[in-house]
Amino acid sequence: MSVLVRSRPEDSLKLQTIARKAYALNFADHWNGNGLELYLDKEFGSKRLTKDLNDLDTYYAFIKSEGESIGFVKMKYLHNPELSEESNCELEKIYILPEAKGKGIGKLVMNQLISEARDLGKQFLFLCVIDTNESAIAFYLNNGFELHSKTELNDTNFKNELRGMHRLRLKL
């Protein structure tokens, strides 16, 4: 059984450790040169995490299984009018350690995130996924998401052939 445990500002170092590990183990081969390290420093550096963990509209949580952190999620609850006029939120990051995949944990976590978004009165949940990540796309489609639009990851160190992104949405 997995569970989401909200990250607090004092959890910054623990969050940084699992975030860097889970992301790198899943996506290290998507970067050119030192791009992975630059990305990890930008997204999961102490300054960024401290800011995000003190932002009431940003929600980080550890994904725990049998008491161990096996991944994390990042939700943005602030309405984004560019995505929809209706009340919405965005799942910015969900990463699970490779050895924990395929055990139904992602489904449990997604159900909990959907439930929390509904409880907050959100009408849509958005996310972006690399358009070549077929297993993730299938997972999201099986959980009721639909294609909303296409976008691109604009990081000069990210491999060109992997920059295409699908924006998906779920009506809550």
**What are 111-136's pLDDT values in tens digits?**
999 999 999 999 999 999 999 999 99
pLDDT digits (tens, 9 = 90+) for 6-17: 999 999 999 999
Decide if pLDDT at 1 tops 60. no
Tell me, what's the pLDDT at 2?
Answer: 62
pLDDT > 70? residue 46:
yes
pLDDT, average across residues 26-30: 96
Quick one: pLDDT band at residue 3, thresholds 50, 70, 90?
A: confident
Assign residue 129 a region: left if phi > 0, alpha if psi is -120 to 50, beta otherwise? beta
Mean of pLDDT over the chain: 95
Domains of the chain: 2-171 (3.40.630.30)
User: Which DSSP helix (H) or strand (E) runs through 128?
Assistant: strand 124-130
Phi and psi at 92, nearest 5°, equal -80, -35
| Residues whose CB falls within 8 Å of the CB of residue 64, separated by 6 or more in sequence, listed in order | 2, 3, 4, 5, 70
